[in-house]
Structure 1
């Protein structure tokens, strides 16, 4: 589950309702959550505002380990 999906669910908002608040298609929002589509900066800011968090709290990459 992506951080975006987790935060949206914690707020009790469905994908379709959240997409509607953003003024975008549900399919577009779904692709954002799955990481299948890049999110415009303006939309990322709007998403963070709707979820009452910082953009960095949602969209910064998770730490990972690189193996040799």
Structure 2
């Protein structure tokens, strides 16, 4: 799976500090979610999807 979180955050216009605060994680951890270094826990994935106005499925691109 390829993370689309970075692209979605850029398109949202929201600041990473704001998003990290809402998810109760550090900006560094948010960056790990963006790069795919860490998978986002499902509870945070739903919260992030709500913040970005997307579905949880939109956070990642399935590899074939």
Runs of 4+ in 1 over 3 A off after TM superposition: none
Deviations 1:4-63 (A, max 9, x none): 111111111222221112121111111110111121111111111111111111124244
Q: Give the gaps of 5 or more residues in structure 1.
A: 64-68
Alignment root-mean-square deviation, CA: 1.5
* Larger RCO (alpha carbons 8 Å, 6+ apart): 2
Query: In the comparison of the two structures, how many residue pairs are matched?
Result: 62
Name the TM-score, length of structure 1 as normaliser. 0.77
Structure 2 stretches lacking a partner, 5+ long: none
